[in-house]
Structure 1
């Protein structure tokens, strides 16, 4: 049977969830009780509104490099406070750090999302290891088809400009604006970034490895330390992709913004999955399973799903990233009274390019922002709006966008227990002085 080219994220997640709940996914029967127990633990965490990630286990890093190592936070690169807000092993980009920057986020201020800590991987011994019955001769995990770092760099290279965003980006506004706190990293809006990625298409590697027409799922796995939550060891981060998506636009990236990938962003090789939630873009990729039956992992069954009131018992799929807008301005910024201020910001959506943006300054009516023409059709849209504050005092700035599908930003986001896909209008406070 030929490969299906249906690779809509919400459709794929919904189909796999039904198969998992029915015990039809590989390993589902053995792992379902454990994962359901984990689901109960995550719901309890949500009820308690814990403002941190559950405990993670961090064994020894893979390989060694005496010139680089993660600091006590589990991150390698410097995290100066002027560029980042730190959340334990994660680092959120400050939006004011993008003021005056171009379309892409410079690598030094690109956000860091770690489930455990950044591993230090030796590219000389690193291998991309493909296995599973979706490949000719069905190589096993112990005897896979392997590609080294230099092997990948000899293959035809492509460059894509793509946005990567954590599914929990904006989570803190469920608590701060809607009185519905959720567990996990309390991201503002800085868990997102656009970069130039260069590497080889995953489809090319699958072809060389012997992809068969019977393959349905491909599951990359990271080399970061195993993750433990709710007393359950979930293993290394992994999440399946439909084979149709892998044949379309998924990249095995080894460069970011024209330089080799930094350790925190997946060195030596990471997956980049344009348009899908960030967890799909596995960093430090090593093993890749190619299967003729549906695959699942905790990262598409009990984590990264929508649980809560008015949601199905097994949770709802995440779907595309929601529409968001952010001002390139410090939180609680001070702006001069009586002078014209040029407000700058960016809007984005996982469903397609941004069509329009509106801003509101205080109690004024919504009015259109001016879009930067060069960004039209891209992964996010820069915009500007002129504002002359009338007098001193606190003012709330708001921005909202609409994408080409008609999706927009409501005043309030629909809540879910784990705080994913916040799409509400963010109230950005400033003081006129």
Structure 2
């Protein structure tokens, strides 16, 4: 494992470097236009923090810099199929129902009852399955459909709530139950003229009773509207669609379940995959990102501190390597945090460029399970699970 960055080195490099200095940051904020709106998103979306993509908002990776391991709610990406509902905890209730309950009688939990159950706190990232999708086209020349995310459809938070396992036990889940399916309270999703109903996605019971929680707090505060208030599902290490927001009911079944979000979407389609697609996607993959705006201009002859984030859903990060010459040579970055399961780590490496002109910066993650980011990602027509090394272009002036 790479040693942690020495605090004195960080302060020295931050003081000497031309990136993210107070004067630069102040100038950027002063020059920034007003926050943009997106259909159905409640919170402000300042353009120096977010890129609006239809009903969604992607966090700029340079906006992660200086935020610590947890992503503040006002910088957390938003993935909406329709619009954020403004629900009341007073009127909210969770209905647990289905063939997998003893007696098959539905059981209801209001907000007070849910919060009276033993609570747990888990720090975990939530990452859209399509994070990095745009690079299939821009780097690999392969067309894909879907929201053209770069690497900002991810955020890490400290979630507090109750174990789904405890809720299922109190609802009377039967030993014969094999699957559960949370469903959200946002509007029904219509695409290509077809109403697919409310967002819902099944979980095998083994995962549901392992580490899944029904969260009502995010970073010590009640969930913001855009992130699932009053209650959302958090499924650590799995693709973001599994972490259903604004959960209103959970079906418990004695037989396997499916939905359009396991049949029509969130499978791998295309050459190299079965005609019906792969099995439904579950676990995310691994990535690395620079906390640096694409196209940034860096003065030559000065020392800069390149920083970024690295993560893997399979195992804690073991190593991050950085190349400042397009991949010809690699150096090991220093990890700023202790790598942990279901989280990310910050990394840093100093760089003093001498030649002017365009440069492709690369960062590459390896996790403790032996997975390393490849040069190319396996193509699929809906652009899921991009895991290749990203070529991050800057200009040395």
Normalising to structure 2: TM-score of the pair? 0.88
Equivalent residue, structure 2, for 1:194: 156
Q: Return the alpha-carbon distance in structure 2 between the equivalents of residues 240 and 85 of structure 1.
A: 30
Equivalent residue, structure 2, for 1:123: 89
The C-alpha deviation readout for 1:336-388, integer Å capped at 9, x for no partner, is 10111111011111111111111100245011111124345551121111111
Equivalent of 1:356 in 319, 343, 351? 319
Tell me how far 1:411 sits from its aligned partner.
1.1
Tell me how far 1:432 sits from its aligned partner.
0.8
Q: Return the alpha-carbon distance in structure 2 between the equivalents of residues 136 and 82 of structure 1.
A: 52
Alignment map for 1:14-413 (pairs within 5 Å): 73-139=39-105, 144-317=106-279, 318-363=281-326, 364-377=328-341, 379-413=343-377
- Assess, with a 3 A threshold, how the Cα gap between structure 1 residues 297 and 320 changes in structure 2: closer, same or farther: same
Farther-moved stretch of structure 1 (271-280 vs 346-355):
346-355
Q: Return the alpha-carbon distance in structure 1 between the equivalents of residues 37 and 231 of structure 2.
A: 21
SS at match of 1:206: helix
Q: Return the alpha-carbon distance in structure 1 between the equivalents of residues 107 and 91 of structure 2.
A: 15
Q: Return the alpha-carbon distance in structure 2 between the equivalents of residues 181 and 390 of structure 1.
A: 37
SS at match of 1:137: helix
How many pairs does the alignment contain? 360
The C-alpha deviation readout for 1:27-52, integer Å capped at 9, x for no partner, is xxxxxxxxxxxxxxxxxxxxxxxxxx
Give unmatched runs, 5+ long, in structure 2. 1-35
Q: Return the alpha-carbon distance in structure 2 between the equivalents of residues 215 and 355 of structure 1.
A: 38
Give unmatched runs, 5+ long, in structure 1. 1-69
- Assess, with a 3 A threshold, how the Cα gap between structure 1 residues 72 and 351 changes in structure 2: closer, same or farther: closer
- Judge conservation of contact 2:120–2:162 (CA < 8 Å) in 1: yes
Question: Once superposed, which parts of structure 1, at least 4 consecutive aligned residues long, lie more than 2 Å away?
Answer: 317-320, 373-378
Farther-moved stretch of structure 1 (361-370 vs 418-427):
361-370
- Judge conservation of contact 2:38–2:54 (CA < 8 Å) in 1: no
SS at match of 2:104: coil
- Judge conservation of contact 1:375–1:382 (CA < 8 Å) in 2: no
SS at match of 2:338: helix
Q: Return the alpha-carbon distance in structure 2 between the equivalents of residues 171 and 383 of structure 1.
A: 23
- Assess, with a 3 A threshold, how the Cα gap between structure 1 residues 260 and 373 changes in structure 2: closer, same or farther: closer
- Assess, with a 3 A threshold, how the Cα gap between structure 1 residues 71 and 86 changes in structure 2: closer, same or farther: closer
Equivalent residue, structure 1, for 2:10: none
Normalising to structure 1: TM-score of the pair? 0.81
The Cα RMSD (Å) is 1.3
Equivalent of 1:417 in 364, 372, 381? 381
- Judge conservation of contact 2:124–2:157 (CA < 8 Å) in 1: yes
- Judge conservation of contact 2:38–2:57 (CA < 8 Å) in 1: no
